[in-house]
Amino acid sequence: MPARAASFRSVFAVAGFRRIWLAHLLSVAGDQLARVALTVLVFDRTSSAGWASAAYALTFVPDLLGGALGGVADRFSRRTVMVVTDVGRAVLIALMAVPGLPLPAAAALLFAVQLMAGPFYAARQALLPDLLDPDRLVVGQAVISSTYQAGLVVGFGAGAAVVTGLGVPGALLIDAGTFALSALMLRFGLERYPPSAPRHHRRPSLLAGCRLVARDRKLRWLLLVACCCGFYVVPEGLAVPVAAELGGAGALPWLLAANPVGSVLGGILLSRIPRERQVRVLGVLAVASSLVLIPTGWAPGPVTIVVLWTISGMFSAHDMITQTQYSLAAPPDHRGQVIGVAIAALRAAQAAGIAAAGLLAQVVAPTTVVTVAAAAGVAVAGVAGIGWSRAVSSRRGPEDHADPVGPAGGTTPVGEHGS
């Protein structure tokens, strides 16, 4: 009989996780505030909705490049990487608040701010298995993912309210303060050398991380499962034209909120399932994330579409399982590099999926594009799910790592590698 799932209380009982979660919460708030502030700044100076939306989109581009820097989390103390990147972001955002700063300079500073998010994320994800045993790790990942999704839901409204009340410079200074506070909490709330402290690699690189992933069967299939988000992220990218096709902008807020709300609900539900069952149903959930979107092209109205997209978001909460298994399968001394590969691959998949959907939406109805993307996603997720199931059912090879005892009091299988 499978053991019961870990509780949220047991996860928050780990002091190190509490610090990381609070820092994550501040980071999400800061990211959204910076994006809204820059968008408002650009629109105020150019009176162009096109340039404003382009400025917002610019904030996501560095994440693709930032994944290549994930290897620094294996070269230096992971706490140090998080603190330094937080301090760097605080300084850069404070510079953005300088009155009269030219728009190109503000955009360049924000680009650098977002570029630092890659190493921060890689270091944080690489550190979590040192703080939480496997059962608590998946619940902790659910908390991290749900916090991010909830931040997306409330971020636009809260960010706009802050910018409206304090102006762009005031909002940016508050944003800088969130990153400075996060750095202080991490510096004085985390140990510098966790039990699985990374060795100092001379040349960590994205290419080296790719080689590690390519040699490990579990990592390969998990990365493909994760990249299936490039298909079920299409509704988010086409929400505006879909709302226009449905006959009004009133549906747009509901369409935009559907996936994040579903992800939060799905994360809560999945975290209550024992870890062994989560591993077994991962492939099914990946397929379902796209499968439920297929009727979008024939849905009778916005209510049905919002329901479908919300359910898809619930299934897409499987990404917390994927991230947990990916972190556990990665060699502990190279987690930063391997996670950096995942960051770059995910952003590339999302960018490619949305870009391709946008081009196709020029010639066919946007709701039809969602259906086409969903059908392709079902096919790819099916292949990935079968590969993952075979990988976890195969015997452990002689190169598999022993399960070291982690600081949280449980055993952490940090390296279950396939042949």
- Report pLDDT for 117: 82
Q: Is residue 199 part of a domain?
A: no
**Cβ proximity of 288 and 315 under 8 Å:** yes
pLDDT value of position 282: 93
CATH number for the domain that contains residue 97: 1.20.1250.20
Number of domains the chain contains: 2
Position 418 scores a pLDDT of 33
Say yes or no: 244 and 214 in one domain.
yes
Is there a domain that residue 39 lies in?
A: yes
Q: What angle do CA 278, 257, 122 make, to 5 degrees?
A: 50
Interacting residues of 312 by C-beta distance below 8 A, sequence separation 6+: 232, 235, 258, 259, 262, 288, 289, 290, 292, 293
Q: Are residues 177 and 218 in the same domain?
A: no
Final residue belonging to a domain, choices 170, 193, 216: 193
Indicate if 341 and 387 belong to the same structural domain: yes
pLDDT, position 160: 65
Gap between the Cα atoms of 146 and 141, Å rounded? 8
Compute and round to an integer the Cα radius of gyration of the chain: 21
Q: What is the pLDDT of residue 313?
A: 93
Residue 418 falls inside a structural domain: no
Query: Which pLDDT value is given to residue 330?
Result: 85
Whole-number pLDDT of residue 236: 82
Asked if residue 214 is part of any domain, the answer here is yes
**Cα of 413 vs its chain's centroid, Å:** 23
Q: Where are the alpha helices (DSSP H) in 47-133?
A: 49-58, 61-66, 72-75, 78-96, 103-115, 117-131
Are 176 and 222 found together in one domain? no
Tokens describing residue 61: 């581009």
Within a domain: 412: no
- Dist. CA 209–CA 203, nearest whole Å: 11
Which segments in the chain show pLDDT lower than 50? 1-2, 49-50, 53, 197, 200, 395-419
**Residue range of the domain that includes 139:** 13-193
Which tokens is 308 given? Answer: 């479908």
3-state secondary structure of 405: strand
What is the structure's pLDDT at 401? Answer: 40
Measured from the Cβ of residue 78, the count of other Cβ atoms closer than 10 Å reads 30
Task: Please give the sequence-ordered ranges of beta strands (E in DSSP) within 323-364, or none if there are none.
Answer: none
